[in-house]
Amino acid sequence: MQNEKKVYLGSDHGGFELKNALAARLREAGFVTEDLGCYSAESCDYPDFAAAVGRAVAAREGALGLLVCGTGIGMSIAANKIPGVRAALCGDVFSAKMTRRHNDANVLCLGARVVGPGLAAEIADAFFSSSFEGDRHARRVEKIAELEKR
Ligand code: RB5
């Protein structure tokens, strides 16, 4: 179904547990989740999963992503290399809301060693329940897309 609310999930070992907890929460909220790895707490490389989620989000209109590693920083740096991805590392609820509204962020990055599970859940709720406002922000997001062409 193209109009389902799809969220692609990814983590490394540092984010594995939090990703699973948030996946269940997202499904309870009505999202269809697809986990693109990792699938255990064994040590692995976060760019592999940032790439998988970033490519999936960029390929599917309206899709969103969630990437979790220890700090969220590596995931956000890597995911933002994929054209069409606007990955936002959030450590607070306000930023999570505003990056959807103003930046049309399509991937939320979280640091499992930075935020506790309760705050992470509230950040995810804020991100995935907020929508892009368009208007003047659309012009600015278009300018971000232009940067990919240079
Ligand atoms: C893995 O130890 C750690 O470097 C990774 O989870 C993440 O924090 C990188 O940004």
The secondary structure of 36-63 as a DSSP string is: -S--SSS---HHHHHHHHHHHHHHSTT-
How far does CA 43 lie from the centroid of its chain? Answer: 21
- Reply yes or no on whether the pLDDT at 150 is more than 90: no
pLDDT one-digit tens code per residue, 87-136 = 999 999 999 999 999 999 999 999 999 999 999 999 999 999 999 999 99
128 falls within a domain: yes
> Does residue 47 have its Cβ closer than 6 Å to ligand 1?
no
109 falls within a domain: yes
Whose alpha carbon is nearest atom 9 of ligand 1? 74
140 falls within a domain: yes
The pLDDT score that the predictor gives to residue 3 is: 53
Strands ordered across the beta sheet of 107-111: 32-35, 6-11, 64-69, 107-111, 87-89
Q: What is the CATH number of the domain that holds 83?
A: 3.40.1400.10
Domain membership of residue 142 as a residue range:
6-148
Which atom, in ligand 1's list, is nearest to the CA of 111? 8
> Does residue 69 have its Cβ closer than 6 Å to ligand 1?
yes
Q: How far is the CA of 44 from the centre of ligand 1 (A)?
A: 9
The pLDDT score that the predictor gives to residue 4 is: 75
The pLDDT score that the predictor gives to residue 140 is: 98
Pairing of strands 64-69, 107-111: parallel
15 falls within a domain: yes
pLDDT one-digit tens code per residue, 25-57 = 999 999 999 999 999 999 999 999 999 999 999
The pLDDT score that the predictor gives to residue 74 is: 98
1 falls within a domain: no
Q: How many domains does the chain have?
A: 1
Q: What is the pTM of this model?
A: 0.97
53 vs 150: which has the higher pLDDT:
53
- Reply yes or no on whether the pLDDT at 1 is more than 50: no
SS3 string, 81-105, reads CCCCCCEEECCCHHHHHHHHHCCCC
